């Protein structure tokens, strides 16, 4: 058994107290679907949230999103990011991930802020909503939910095995017993043997076998710089994935799992990948941007993530100096038994 550090125990005690004192509330009897994880980042929750919102729309439901808005300036007071037609907050106010959700989900109301119950009431008063998607909600105990979907990154499922602050786990794997559905993300990045071992470990912790595999599938490259909002996305210039085949590329990212992003570029046929990485949600400065531009050649291939471009866009006038700067667009997809997953959701939601 892995040694536990004193601060880990303090964190775990605090989490247990938080669970015990929380009194989960319903928002006007509207069902809630939570999408979360066990670790602090890197599992790909944002593309998964987009996938499930679109699934709900295909079921003829009217979803809205409740998200904390990590890194946004209105985290404490909260507010409506999107009414489905207009962006009502900036990325700096909302945080990068909520902003990405809004741009990719026109027609879907989105509220950000720590008090997701109050935000839910506000959205329910203003819009015709019949289901909420609670983004990053597995450790949010203030709302009752009908479905707890937990994502586990195949490449580093349980971090180093330690809970915060000595590791990246928010809870021990036994917390999976609260889950209804588990999705292994980036499943194609590990061997079949490792995948079998991981599935057995998850089953043992969760006590159920509603486990699905998924990939974050690259779809195309978007030429940068671009304005990032509802309307401008229709005019983005794109390139096919074959563009980087046999090319050396630079991978620029400030995300939870740099290695997975770099492995994806290699899987697309890049001859070599040089890493320029920052911590998750990193707020880029002009000094950073000028240093990056100076480090690479103007005709080198520089690839970043969509989430990173949201934070880099403030310096877009400087990026005109680069001829081959792109973000990689990603789609979340279930590898097999997608019909079973859809039926599970329909059964739970009674639709």
Average pLDDT over residues 152-161: 88
Angle at Cα 277 formed by Cα 272 and Cα 283, nearest 5°?
145
* Residue 226 and residue 337 in contact, taking contact as beta carbons nearer than 8 Å: no
- Please give the helix or strand (H or E) that residue 311 lies within, else none: helix 306-312
In this predicted structure, the answer to whether residue 69 has a pLDDT above a threshold of 70 is yes
pLDDT in tens, 246-280: 999 999 999 988 998 999 999 999 999 999 999 99
Specify the pLDDT at position 233.
82
Specify the pLDDT at position 1.
40
- Please give the helix or strand (H or E) that residue 260 lies within, else none: helix 258-267
pLDDT in tens, 19-45: 666 788 999 999 999 999 999 877 889
- The CATH number of domain 6-215+333-349, selected from 3.30.830.10, 3.40.50.150, 3.40.50.300, 1.10.150.120: 3.40.50.300
Average pLDDT over residues 117-138: 97
Specify the pLDDT at position 19.
66
pLDDT in tens, 286-313: 999 999 999 999 999 999 999 999 999 9
- Please give the C-alpha separations between residue 209 and each of 144, 203, 292, in angstroms, as whole numbers: 23, 6, 46
- Please give the C-alpha separations between residue 45 and each of 8, 118, 142, 167, 180, in angstroms, as whole numbers: 25, 23, 20, 19, 16
Q: How confident is the model at residue 143 (pLDDT cuts 50, 70, 90)?
A: very high
- Kindly report the pTM of this predicted structure: 0.91
For the chain, give every domain's residue range.
6-215+333-349, 218-332
Beta bridge partners of 112: 67, 79
In this predicted structure, the answer to whether residue 229 has a pLDDT above a threshold of 60 is yes
């Amino acid at each position: 058994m892995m040694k536990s550090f004193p601060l880990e125990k303090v964190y775990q005690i605090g989490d247990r107290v938080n669970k015990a004192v929380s009194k989960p509330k319903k928002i006007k009897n509207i069902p809630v679907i939570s999408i979360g994880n066990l670790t602090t980042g890197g599992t790909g929750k944002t593309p998964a949230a987009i996938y499930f919102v679109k699934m709900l729309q295909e079921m003829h439901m009217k979803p809205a999103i409740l998200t904390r808005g990590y890194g946004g300036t209105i985290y404490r007071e909260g507010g409506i990011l999107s009414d489905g037609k207009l962006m009502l907050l900036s990325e700096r106010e909302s945080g990068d991930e909520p902003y990405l959700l809004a741009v990719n989900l026109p027609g879907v109301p989105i509220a950000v802020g720590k008090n997701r119950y109050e935000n839910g009431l506000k959205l329910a008063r203003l819009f015709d909503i019949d289901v909420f998607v609670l983004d990053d909600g597995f450790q949010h105990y203030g709302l009752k939910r009908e479905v707890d979907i937990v994502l586990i990154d195949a490449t580093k499922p349980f971090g180093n095995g330690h809970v915060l602050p000595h590791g990246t786990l928010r809870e021990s794997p036994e917390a999976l017993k609260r889950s209804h559905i588990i999705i292994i993300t980036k499943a194609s990045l590990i061997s079949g043997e490792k995948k079998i071992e991981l599935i057995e470990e998850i089953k043992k912790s969760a006590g159920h076998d509603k486990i699905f595999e998924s990939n974050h599938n690259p779809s195309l490259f978007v030429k940068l710089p671009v304005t990032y909002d509802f309307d401008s996305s229709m005019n983005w210039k794109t390139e096919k994935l074959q563009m980087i085949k046999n090319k050396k590329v630079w991978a620029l990212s400030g995300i939870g799992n740099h290695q997975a992003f770099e492995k994806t570029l290699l899987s697309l046929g890049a001859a070599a990948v040089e890493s320029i990485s920052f911590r998750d949600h990193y707020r880029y400065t002009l000094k950073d941007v000028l240093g990056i531009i100076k480090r690479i050649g103007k005709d080198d291939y520089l690839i970043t993530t969509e989430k990173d471009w949201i934070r880099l866009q403030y310096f877009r006038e400087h990026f005109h100096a680069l001829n081959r700067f792109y973000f990689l667009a990603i789609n979340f997809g279930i590898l097999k038994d997608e019909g079973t997953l859809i039926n599970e959701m329909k059964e739970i939601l009674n639709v």
